[in-house]
């Protein structure tokens, strides 16, 4: 009886859960659903897009956000030449040291450095951003519900004016997709925010797609490798199955039911069984 009560209440609790969850997210608008080149088992990153995204990151986002898990040498992985990556790194200064006199000093960043952080510490970051902390973006596409679609939505979801019945707090901006709608980050991307080196049209949507793809890559640079391995494993299993099937057919091709029934041993065995059944 106890058990039954428990089961019933557990079932009720579970059936309510989705209701609670959807009530919590109902605040933000439904996300746009985009098609990404890296979706699906055969999907892969679009290199030119990643390069455009890196340009958006370096020229816009890196003013406030760090990307601590990415090194300048990783720019070579998305198709920049080593010289280009070196030049991009050397645009940034990083603290090194101590030197022979025990002093810390600044030097241009190198391929072996991580992307330079915009602020020395959390307090400086908060102070510059009205008390809000711009999070590291290394794994942001994994860390947020909605993933890539959310990041794209966040970039394109700003409204110039909050709806009339919405009371926007001081220092915040209205975003359709940000949970609670009030975000301390001003709209970072606009049309022509970045002048693309490859000549792609610099619309807001294009910038948003490119930065999102770049951040998805940053969070998951070995995804293509994993997918390739997965496909190899599946092919291997298919071939193995086919081989075993052929082998089974070959082995059994020599054994027919007809022969088996008339095999002298089988016949003798059968007769023996019959005798035991009727001893008279
Ligand atoms: C002027 C500084 C500034 C710039 C430039 C900037 N951000 Fe932000 N960003 C912030 C701050 C501050 C927050 C924290 C907002 C808050 O807590 O309300 C934030 C938060 C975020 C978040 C987290 C939102 C969440 O769900 O918590 C993402 C994602 C993000 N920014 C992406 C970007 C991208 C991509 C760019 C470049 C296109 C960019 N930001 C440029 C200041 C900035």
Query: What is the chain's pLDDT, residue by residue, as a tens digit (280 residues)?
Result: 455 565 555 554 555 444 444 444 436 789 999 999 999 999 999 999 999 999 999 999 999 999 999 999 999 999 999 999 999 999 999 999 999 999 999 999 999 999 999 999 999 999 999 999 999 999 999 999 999 999 999 999 999 999 999 999 999 999 999 999 999 999 999 999 999 989 999 999 999 999 999 999 999 999 999 999 999 999 999 999 999 999 998 888 877 777 778 888 988 999 999 888 876 5
Return the HEC string of the chain. Answer: CHHHHHHHHHHHHHHHHHHHHHHHHCCCCCCCCCCCCCCCCCCCCCHHHHHHHHHHHHHCHHHCCCCCCCECCHHHHCCCCHHHHHHHHCCCEEEECCCCCCCCEEEECCCCCECCCCCCCHHHHHHHCCCCCCCCCCCHHHHCCCHHHHHHHHHHCECCCCCCCCCCCCCCEEECCCCCCEECCCCCCCCCCCCCCCCCCCCHHHHHHHHHHHHHHHHCCCHHHHHHHHHHHHHHHHHHHHHHHHHHHHHHHCCCHHHHHHCHHHHHHHHHHHHHHCCC
Q: 188 CB less than 6 Å from ligand 1?
A: yes
- Interval between CA 52 and ligand 1 midpoint (Å): 19
Ligand 1: nearest atom to the Cα of 63: 5
Q: Which pTM value belongs to this model?
A: 0.82
Nearest protein Cα to ligand 1, atom 6: 61
Do 213 and 167 share a domain, yes or no?
A: yes
CATH number at residue 141: 1.10.760.10
Q: Is residue 98 part of a domain?
A: no
Q: 28 CB less than 6 Å from ligand 1?
A: no
- Interval between CA 190 and ligand 1 midpoint (Å): 14
Task: Give the number of domains in the chain.
Answer: 2
Do 216 and 235 share a domain, yes or no?
A: no
Q: Could you tell me the residue range of the domain that residue 127 belongs to?
A: 28-70+114-221
Q: 189 CB less than 6 Å from ligand 1?
A: yes
Do 152 and 136 share a domain, yes or no?
A: yes
Do 217 and 162 share a domain, yes or no?
A: yes
Ligand 1: nearest atom to the Cα of 207: 38
Do 147 and 55 share a domain, yes or no?
A: yes
Ligand 1: nearest atom to the Cα of 57: 37
């Amino acid at each position: 009886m106890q058990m039954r009560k428990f089961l019933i209440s557990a079932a009720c609790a579970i059936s309510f859960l989705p209701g609670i969850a959807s009530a919590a997210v109902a605040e933000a608008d439904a996300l746009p659903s985009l098609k990404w080149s890296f979706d699906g088992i055969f999907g892969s990153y679009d290199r030119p897009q990643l390069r455009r995204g890196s340009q958006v990151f370096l020229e816009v986002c890196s003013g406030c956000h760090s990307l601590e898990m990415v090194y300048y040498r990783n720019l070579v992985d998305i198709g920049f030449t080593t010289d280009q990556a070196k030049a991009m790194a050397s645009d940034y200064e990083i603290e090194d040291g101590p030197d022979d006199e025990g002093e810390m000093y600044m030097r241009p960043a190198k391929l072996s450095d991580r992307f330079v952080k915009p602020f020395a510490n959390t307090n400086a970051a908060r102070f510059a951003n009205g008390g809000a902390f711009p999070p590291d973006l290394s794994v942001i596409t994994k860390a947020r519900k909605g993933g890539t679609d959310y990041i794209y939505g966040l970039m394109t979801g700003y409204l110039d004016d909050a709806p009339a019945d919405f009371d926007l707090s001081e220092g915040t901006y209205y975003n359709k997709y940000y949970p609670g709608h009030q975000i301390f980050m001003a709209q970072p991307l606009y049309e022509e925010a970045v002048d693309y080196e490859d000549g792609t049209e610099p619309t807001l949507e294009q910038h948003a797609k490119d930065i999102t793809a770049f951040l998805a890559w940053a969070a998951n640079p070995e995804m293509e490798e994993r997918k390739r391995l997965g496909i190899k494993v599946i092919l291997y299993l298919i071939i193995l199955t086919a081989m075993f099937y052929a082998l089974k057919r070959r082995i059994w091709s020599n054994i027919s039911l007809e022969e088996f029934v008339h095999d002298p041993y089988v016949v003798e065995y059968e007769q023996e069984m019959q005798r035991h059944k009727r001893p008279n």
